[in-house]
Structure 1
Amino acid sequence: MQIEKTRDDPNASQPDRIRAALLEDIEAGALMPGDPVDEKLLADRFGVSRTPVREALLTLSAQHLVRIVPRSGIHVHAPEAAELVGMLEALSELEGVVARLCAQRMDPAQREGLEHWCAATRASARKGDRAGFEAANQAFHTALYEGCGNSVVVEQVQQLRLRLAAFRRKVRDQPGRLLSSAADHEAVVAAVLASDAERAAQAMREHIVAKGRAFADLLLAPAGGRR
């Protein structure tokens, strides 16, 4: 994963290493939307002055991952509902492009790897193994990104997925969501293996849209009196 490579790269600058560590914290849920970010604590954590910390935070702010408000402090960005919808719409289209390109470009070895990780997500979902599912799901999507052969699209997808990290965790916490997500993966893989580019794109778009519906259900459940 690029975040890990940057964090562990001895040639990376201090701001880049700090940024990579904070990205990892956001992706893992150690930093949640709305959480405060303290420059001094970060400087102490990384054993640096505040200058590289500030540089890292400015980059994250430009990526809409933290929000810097003068005299109010720094917080992990918490998107409003309209922004969430917009990001999901963009992600569904971009992930659809990835799936379409995979159906057109993946070689036999890449297709075999994709099948393997799809089966791994299904097996973990059936056992209710959340950690196993997360690992297999990451590998499944990485296989798609490598197989599509378009680094520009992949960069945009990964940025959106990072901005949606907390949202995606909430959706996966819902009962039955791991199984339905694994089933979505199977539909995508079947289309890729059949070299059906349009069906692969549609299956992936439906996979992302399903997450949006699941999140809407999560938000509306208290108002509707559901348990």
Structure 2
Amino acid sequence: MIGAVLWRALLLAAALVAIAVQFDRQAERSPEIAEVVPSALRSTAQPRTVAMALSSGDPTLALEEARTLVERRPLPAEHLRLLSLAQARTGNPDAAVMTVQYAAQRGWRDGLVQEAMLRLALDNGDETEAARRFTALMMNSRARDEGLEAVASELLDEDGGTARATVAAIMGGDTRLQRRFVSRGARVLPPDAYIEIIERMAETGSHFECRTITGAQTHLTSRDSSAGRAMTRLVEEAC
């Protein structure tokens, strides 16, 4: 009899754990159910819990939840970014800067981490590092054109400057990403900076697809007719 009761209890416990795990997974799509998941079983739900704590205006709770998140799942850069934000909210900017730097080492695809590192580099006058971070953001489909345009006008304002040369060197050496850069750059980079970077890329051996460079010329011409005309030679060579 006792054995049967224990067996039923074990089955019930297993069922409850399975339900909690399903709720944890569902929290990725439905953040509002994150709090339903028992704290000890939160995995997917934990980042949502941190985000809600940050939104609630309770920085101490947010920091506690963020630390729990990083202890359980330390690898994703997003989790370190959340911890950095919580540290900043609790008045510890030095720790926040250190944490976001660790996050940057782990995740080039996390746009918010790259934005933070880009701003740090600009504040420290490190144009090379800022250009590297900016290029990473250019390749991130989640980064908004308006934000990129604002940063580019500040970062790439110097003719023949270090930042422009760095962007050209990075993109000239990565043929897989050149198409996206050529297309998006025509929309968000200052026209003169775009022309200089594209010409530098061409000088170092980059070959542009006819359709891509023609579309870029159309976008650039709508912003600056003289810059659009400056691309005529590159278009003729590609087409």
TM (norm. structure 1) is 0.25
Normalised by the length of structure 2, the TM-score is 0.24
Larger-Rg structure: 2
Whose relative contact order is higher, 1 or 2, with alpha carbons under 8 Å and at least 6 apart? Answer: 1
